[in-house]
């Protein structure tokens, strides 16, 4: 048992009237002790539920991210050609259960135009147990879960798409996943995952949220972390995906203008309509693969809406209208299908190299 951790636990877990917030340094220390298992399972579980009840502050989230940055994996863009600012798409790790996601399609669209994209996550995870991103990529023929961190870096340099997979690349964080099931609630770690950028250089952090207070918390945390370029989206199921069925509430931070608010109405661009419900993994994959092949299915408007918005937001297109047009052209002309083939071929080469090394 860690006596030092016990003191931090007492501070956050003393009840409604007597609990106190941790400093940034204390939050980093507590997170480090949990990641490195210096705290006992009882202490970790107690901290998670106590911290959730208390509600995290921006300095606490900042300290937690400091620990993730110090202990966790990091990719680098040092050897990438073009040097466009990389994008990190922050989505809830517990996956999607109500609507068909288009994040993999958005990632492919951005990669086609030379914007490096990093995703991160794990396997099917509590508390939602939805379909995780890693499963979708595996079904698309790109098994990021089989890569070492060095292979992920090499793949990222070749294709412009990288995936930091928790069980393989950040086992210290992965071992904390079981606590989510045991306490039955998302701990504060589920919040920092949305704004974690596993990258050595500066990146464009894109984070989804559900409740407005979370967005305010993100803004304060980004400020403390000196992240100047970011996007927050009140997205589908807390993801960074824009919904067709409602006005998109978007926050945009950038060095020159500070924070700006955008309310995007999909109907203004003839992209409004119902979001595609998720019925099964098989149906989900049929929808995604059809769009990648350029087929005009019910998921196509969602792909154009999200791809076009992020093409504009990443500075590829001068306005939203041209972003939507560019996204549609990219899809219908087969550029997504070609990009996916590149990812699939690169994945096969990495797996062949791994098998050869294993046989030796």
Q: Is residue 79, in this structure, part of any structural domain at all? A: no
Residue-level pLDDT at 307: 98
Question: Is 92 found in the same domain as 45?
Answer: no
| Whole-number average pLDDT of the chain | 95
Q: Does 34 map to a domain? A: yes
- 30 and 153 in a single domain? The answer is no
Residues 24 and 164 both lie in one domain: no
Tell me the DSSP string of 197-227: --BSS--EEEEE-SSHHHHHHHHHHHHHTT-
For residues 58 and 101, membership in a common domain is answered with no
Number of domains in the chain: 2
pLDDT, position 353: 72
The pLDDT of residue 360 is above 60: no
The position carrying tokens 């979370």 is: 214
By residue range, what is the domain housing residue 306?
87-337
Residue 30's pLDDT band, with cuts at 50, 70 and 90, is very high
Domain identity same for 110 and 258: yes
- CA 248/CA 300 separation, integer angstroms: 18
Answer yes or no: is 230 within a domain.
Answer: yes
Together in a domain, 100 and 23:
no
Q: Return d(Cα 246, Cα 274) in angstroms, integer.
A: 9
The torsion angles phi and psi of 174, rounded to 5 degrees, stand at -65, -35
Q: What is the CATH number of the domain that holds 181?
A: 3.40.1030.10
Domain for residue 20, yes or no? yes
User: Tens of pLDDT along 168-224?
Assistant: 999 999 999 999 999 999 999 999 999 999 999 999 999 999 999 999 999 999 999
pLDDT in tens, 292-341: 999 999 999 999 999 999 999 999 999 999 999 999 999 999 999 999 99
Hey, is 176 helix, strand or coil?
coil
Domain of 60, CATH number, reads 1.20.970.10
Span 111-128, average pLDDT: 97
pLDDT tens per residue across span 55-89: 999 999 999 999 999 999 999 999 987 779 999 99
Does 144 lie in the same domain as 56? no
345 inside domain:
no
Task: Tell me, yes or no, whether 126 and 46 share the same domain.
Answer: no
Is residue 14 pLDDT above 60, yes or no?
yes
Classify residue 342: in a domain, yes or no: no
Residue 332 and residue 212 share a domain: yes
What is the reported pLDDT for 355?
64
Judge whether 120 lies within some domain: yes
Judged against a pLDDT cut of 80, whether residue 281 lies above it is answered with yes
Same domain membership, residue 198 and residue 111: yes
At 257 the pLDDT is 86
Q: Assign 141 a pLDDT band (cuts: 50, 70, 90).
A: very high
Secondary structure (H, E, C), 17-50? CCCCCCCHHHHHHHHHHHHCCCCCHHHHHHHHHH
Tell whether 199 and 325 lie within a shared domain: yes
| Same domain, yes or no: 24 and 137 | no
In a domain, 332, yes or no: yes
Q: Of 44, 71, 98, which closes a domain? A: 71
pLDDT, one tens digit per residue, over 38-47 is: 999 999 999 9
């Amino acid at each position: 048992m860690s006596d030092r951790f016990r003191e931090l636990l007492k501070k956050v877990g003393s009840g409604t009237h007597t609990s106190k917030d941790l400093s940034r340094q204390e939050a980093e220390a507590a997170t480090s002790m949990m990641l490195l298992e210096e705290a006992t399972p009882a202490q970790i579980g107690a901290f998670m539920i106590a911290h959730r009840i208390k509600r995290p502050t921006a300095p606490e989230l900042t300290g937690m991210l400091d620990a993730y940055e110090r202990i966790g994996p990091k990719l680098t863009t040092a050897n990438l050609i073009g040097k466009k600012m990389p994008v990190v798409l922050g989505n809830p790790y517990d996956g999607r259960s109500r609507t068909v996601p288009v994040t993999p399609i958005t990632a492919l669209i951005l990669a086609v135009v030379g914007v490096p994209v990093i995703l991160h996550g794990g396997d099917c995870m509590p508390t939602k147990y939805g379909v995780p991103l890693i499963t979708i990529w595996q079904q698309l023929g790109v098994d990021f879960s089989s890569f070492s961190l060095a292979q992920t870096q090499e793949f990222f340099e070749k294709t412009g798409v990288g995936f930091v997979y928790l069980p393989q690349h950040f086992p210290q964080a992965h071992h904390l996943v079981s606590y989510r099931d045991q306490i039955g609630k998302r701990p504060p770690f589920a919040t920092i995952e949305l704004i974690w950028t596993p990258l050595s250089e500066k990146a464009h952090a894109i984070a989804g949220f559900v409740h407005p207070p979370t967005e305010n918390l993100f803004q304060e945390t980004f400020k403390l972390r000196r992240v100047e370029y970011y996007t927050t989206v009140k997205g589908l199921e807390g993801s960074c995906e824009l919904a067709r069925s409602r006005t998109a509430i978007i926050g945009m931070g950038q060095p020159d203008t500070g924070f700006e608010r955008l309310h995007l109405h999909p109907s203004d661009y003839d992209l409004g309509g119902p979001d595609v419900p998720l019925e099964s993994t098989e149906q989900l994959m049929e929808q995604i693969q059809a769009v990648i092949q350029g087929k005009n299915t019910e998921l196509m408007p969602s792909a154009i809406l999200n791809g076009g918005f992020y093409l504009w937001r990443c500075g590829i297109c001068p306005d939203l209208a041209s972003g939507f047009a560019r996204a549609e052209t990219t899809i219908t002309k087969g550029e997504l299908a070609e990009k996916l083939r590149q990812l699939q071929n690169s994945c096969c080469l990495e797996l062949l190299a791994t098998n050869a090394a294993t046989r030796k």
